[in-house]
Amino acid sequence: MEKNRIFTAIAGAAAAVFPLILGLNEYYVFLVTLIMLYTTIVVAWQLIGGLGGQLDLGAGAYHGLGAIVTGYLMVYHGISGWVGLFAGGLAAAGVAFIIGYPSFRFGLKEVWYALSSLALVLILQKIFLLWTDVAGPLERYIPYAAFDPIFMRSGYKTFYYYITLALFAATLALVYRIRKNKLGLYLQSIRDNEEAAEMLGVDVRKYKLIALLVYSFIAAMTGGIYTSMVGFYHPTLFDSWISIQTVTLSIAGGLGSLWGPPITSLILLTVQEYLRITLGAVIIGLHQVIFGIILIFIILFRPEGLGPLLDTLSVRLGLGSKASKEM
Amino acid sequence: MKAVEVVNVTKKFGALTALSNVNMDVDIGEIVGLIGPNGAGKTTLFNILTGFLKPDSGTVKIFGDDVTNLPPHKIAQKKVARSFQIIKPFPSMTVLEAVMVGGYLNTGDEKTARERAVEALKMVGVNHLRDRLAKELNTQQLKLVELARCLATQPRLLLLDELVAGLTPAEVDRMSELIRKLNAEKGITILLVEHVMRFVMKISNRVVVLNYGEVISVGTPEEVSRDHKVVEAYLGTKAGA
């Protein structure tokens, strides 16, 4: 436990001064913030996917919804992005409820659930392309401000770095806590065997829905931060690539593992960005090919993902422990 | 009040009548065996009792409450636990975690859930396995863990679907001792579906025989084994008759 705290303190301190290490280089801080934003979605996805076992491909929809709601409120109503983050979160959770309730009610599972959640991304994109009062085919720009923390708008990317870091840390802490309590255990039992879980008194529908709502809320918040950081919004932010990336990184990281998905996500997204910068302009798309090959190798040689490896490592280092060892 | 009351239950799957106007009951504190040839409707009746299937007509009462249209998790809250014919383990969880899922029924407190789980593991005699993963265990161990999972919910009624199928005679004897103990010491009412006659006849107070979805005989193990309808159901009628 003591070691755990020291590790958390060191990681926290390193994260806190990281922009300085990058020499406050706007471009690098921007990239690191992006990587952390996408990793936050990966961590939140562990609730519905890693623990709950539902192959949800709706991340792009919730991320996009958060971006559009936050952006719309900032552009058209001058409402602060801070309010937008929560409004976007609520909107996404609302849509998730409308989709999730009937899906779970009628036992939509596995690939069918995956496809219907992916369809949500495309449907929302089309709706907002046509809904010109809110979005439409043109990019909508958020008024520039050099530094306006109350409006949540800043020209300095470091500002967004810290907002993202806070959300990332809070999401990690939340998922860590949930894993160890009733909700986490119930979700795992649903993933492992729904009928057996139900017979033990687990309200399968309710717990899936809770996981979906929390995850969609957080995914929407990442969208809100993103849109304020880049300064515009557009329906292409409903991006099915985000859905696929989230699931792929989670699988490569090890479904249900604690450290696997976030660490794998941070590493692989960094590699991807590095490849994009160095090779992306040499042959267009080459970085994605190499990224794909890396993923194929991980899944071929470590089908259970990198998670078990990383979790063993963390136990070796005396960090984190199996729940049962504590008694 | 009875532990289980099944009144005029009929269930059809298309043209096949799985249960036809079934009436049966289980008194509180009893051990009742439910037997019958393959396809007699035993598991269908269990699925109706636990809410996985809805009957086409008829009602099911458990401890006096009508549970006919309740889903399984609501029936579990009425202090009913069930083991499955084909074991349904939680492969990626440790044994303790799996049993704690049962222990969390009607409580959100981790300590309570853990205490209930450990007590259940000890009662069944598999506490030494608690840090192992379900996927590392053999069939007998998995069946015992599944029983512990049921007990952690602190049931008043336990439905056991072919608990001893696939076990060796020595293991069957240990299991019957355990079931008797749960019944005598914990006051748990038990309804069990079983093919292993030696086991059913030894531990049941009463036996209900189903054949082609109908109750053909009810009585003590001795009465039932002498009933010619039961003998016919299992062995067929005399040649030419």
Judging contacts by C-beta atoms under 8 Å, the chain B residues touching residue A204 are: 73
Contact A323 B153 (CB under 8 A): no
Best residue of B46, B92, B158, B161 to probe chain A, by most A CBs closer than 10 Å: B92
A277 against B144, higher pLDDT:
B144
Contact B90 A196 (CB under 8 A): yes
> What pLDDT digit, counting tens, does each position of A229-249 carry?
999 999 999 999 999 999 989
Nearest-angstrom CA–CA distance, A19 and A2: 28
Distance from CA of A153 to the nearest CA of B (A): 41
Nearest-angstrom CA–CA distance, B29 and A214: 44
Nearest to B104 among A185, A192, A256 (CB): A185
Question: Token pair for residue B79?
Answer: 């202090």
- Whether pLDDT at A319 is above 80: no
Distances (CA, A) of A233 to A129, A136, A152, A225, B72: 11, 10, 15, 11, 46
Q: Which of residues 174-203 of A touch B (CB under 8 A)?
A: 180-182, 185-186, 188-189, 191-193, 195-203
Nearest-angstrom CA–CA distance, B72 and B48: 10
Tell me the backbone φ, ψ of residue B26, rounded to 5 degrees: -130, 125
Maximum mean pLDDT: which of A8-17, A18-27, A163-172, A243-252: A163-172
Contact A195 B84 (CB under 8 A): yes
DSSP B240: T
Characterize A195-206 residue by residue with b for buried, 16 or more Cβ atoms within 10 angstroms of its Cβ, and e for exposed.
ebbbbbbbbbbe
Judging contacts by C-beta atoms under 8 Å, the chain B residues touching residue A181 are: 108, 110
Q: What crossing angle do the helices spanning B169-186 and B139-152 adopt, rounded to 10°?
A: 10
B155 against A136, higher pLDDT:
B155
> What pLDDT digit, counting tens, does each position of A208-217 carry?
999 999 999 9
Contact B92 A192 (CB under 8 A): yes
Contact A324 B153 (CB under 8 A): no
Best residue of A188, A199, A311 to probe chain B, by most B CBs closer than 10 Å: A199
Question: Token pair for residue A247?
Answer: 């699931």
Distance from CA of B98 to the nearest CA of A (A): 7
Tell me the backbone φ, ψ of residue B97, rounded to 5 degrees: -60, -45
**Out of A120-124, A275-279, B181-185, which region has the weakest mean confidence (pLDDT)?**
A275-279
Q: CA-nearest residue of chain B to A190?
A: B90
Distance of CA A211 to the CA centre of its chain: 13
Question: Which strands, in side-by-side order, build the sheet including B214-219?
Answer: B80-83, B157-161, B189-193, B31-35, B206-211, B214-219
Beta strands in A124-194 (DSSP E): 140-141, 147-148, 153-154
Tell me the backbone φ, ψ of residue B6, rounded to 5 degrees: -110, 120
- Give the percent of chain A with pLDDT over 70: 96
- Whether pLDDT at A317 is above 90: no
What would the DSSP string read from start to end of B85-135? SS----TTSBHHHHHHHHHTTT---HHHHHHHHHHHHHHHT-GGGTTSBGG
> According to the model, what pLDDT value does residue B109 have?
93
What domains are there in chain B, each with its CATH number? 1-79+155-241 (3.40.50.300), 86-154 (no CATH)
Nearest-angstrom CA–CA distance, B105 and B76: 8
- Whether pLDDT at A122 is above 90: yes
Q: Which residues contact A116 (CB under 8 A, 6 or more apart)?
A: A99, A103, A108
Tell me the backbone φ, ψ of residue A156, rounded to 5 degrees: -90, 125
Tell me the backbone φ, ψ of residue B12, rounded to 5 degrees: -115, 140
pTM of the model: 0.90
Nearest-angstrom CA–CA distance, A158 and A165: 10
- In 10 A of CB A111, how many CB atoms? 9
> What pLDDT digit, counting tens, does each position of A158-174 carry?
999 999 999 999 999 99
**What average pLDDT does the segment A260-280 reach?**
87
Nearest-angstrom CA–CA distance, B171 and B168: 5
Over its length of 241 residues, how does chain B's per-residue pLDDT go in tens digits? 899 999 999 999 998 999 999 999 999 999 999 999 888 899 999 999 999 999 999 999 999 999 999 999 999 999 999 999 888 999 989 999 999 999 999 999 999 999 999 999 999 999 999 999 988 899 889 999 999 999 999 999 999 999 888 888 898 999 999 999 999 999 999 999 988 888 898 899 999 999 999 999 999 998 988 888 888 887 776 654 4
Q: Which of residues 151-170 of B touch A (CB under 8 A)?
A: 153
Contact B73 A323 (CB under 8 A): no
> According to the model, what pLDDT value does residue B54 have?
95
Contact A323 B94 (CB under 8 A): yes
Exposed/middle/buried for residue A176 (C-beta within 10 Å: 0-12, 13-18, 19+): middle
- Whether pLDDT at A323 is above 60: no
What would the DSSP string read from start to end of B182-232? HHHHH--EEEEE-S-HHHHHHH-SEEEEEETTEEEEEE-HHHHHH-HHHHH
Distance from CA of B185 to the nearest CA of A (A): 22
Nearest to A201 among B94, B98, B105 (CB): B105
Residues B198/B35, Cβ–Cβ less than 8 Å: no
Domain ranges of chain A: 2-321
Q: Which residues contact A33 (CB under 8 A, 6 or more apart)?
A: A157, A160, A161, A164, A229
**What average pLDDT does the segment A57-80 reach?**
95
- What is the Cα gyration radius of chain A? 20
Nearest-angstrom CA–CA distance, A46 and A257: 9
Contact A198 B76 (CB under 8 A): yes
Q: CA-nearest residue of chain A to B106?
A: A201
Contact B92 A204 (CB under 8 A): no
Nearest to B94 among A198, A200, A324 (CB): A324
Confidence of residue A326 (pLDDT cuts 50, 70, 90): very low
Residues A51/B93, Cβ–Cβ less than 8 Å: no
Distances (CA, A) of B11 to A31, A148, A198, B49: 61, 68, 22, 12
Run of H or E residues at B6: strand B4-13
Residues B210/B11, Cβ–Cβ less than 8 Å: no
> According to the model, what pLDDT value does residue B238 have?
62
> According to the model, what pLDDT value does residue A11 have?
86
Q: What crossing angle do the helices spanning A240-253 and A59-77 adopt, rounded to 10°?
A: 130
